[in-house]
Amino acid sequence: MKKLLMSAIVLIVFSFAIILFQISCKKGALADTKTLPTIKGLWVGSYTVDDQPGWGEQYFSLIIKPDGTMVTDSKGAGQQHLAPGTWTLNNDTLKCDFTCVYGITSNIGIRETTIAVVDKNTGELRGKWKNAAAPVDSGKFILTKVN
């Protein structure tokens, strides 16, 4: 009888330890989620062009919609450019794929891709952009969430 009672106590202590461990893990996961801002919304900042350093920083914004679509609004060579597309998020890495539909005539139809990482300390999106059509261009961008 004494052996059965000891076994029951050990089993209860072990079960309690497992429950305590699971609760503490869930709290940590929730805390990490809160530090990573939601990706959806309006992001505003600037971009640069690698082979045109004299242009400096140019206006760039990104609207990330909940349905997996997005729109960029940028300014290049003094002309507004609009490009709708799609986005995916894997951990803290955002990937966007979009095509210019409004802007300088030579840019219309140009497909671009971006890869950005959410900086957990500043909340900024920092990344690189690239297009595959001639002339091949690439550069960097930094965006801050507006809403």
Q: For position 130, which CATH number holds?
A: 2.40.128.120
Yes or no: say if 96 and 68 are a contact pair by the CB < 8 Å rule: no
Structure confidence by residue, pLDDT tens digits, 100-120: 999 999 889 999 999 999 888
Alpha carbon of residue 136 to chain centroid:
24
Query: Average pLDDT in the 109-138 region?
Result: 89
Domain identity same for 1 and 66: no
Confidence of residue 35 (pLDDT cuts 50, 70, 90): very low
Residue-level pLDDT at 38: 84
Which helix (H) or strand (E) is 29 found in, with range? helix 2-35
Domain identity same for 67 and 138: yes
Full domain range(s) for residue 127: 41-145
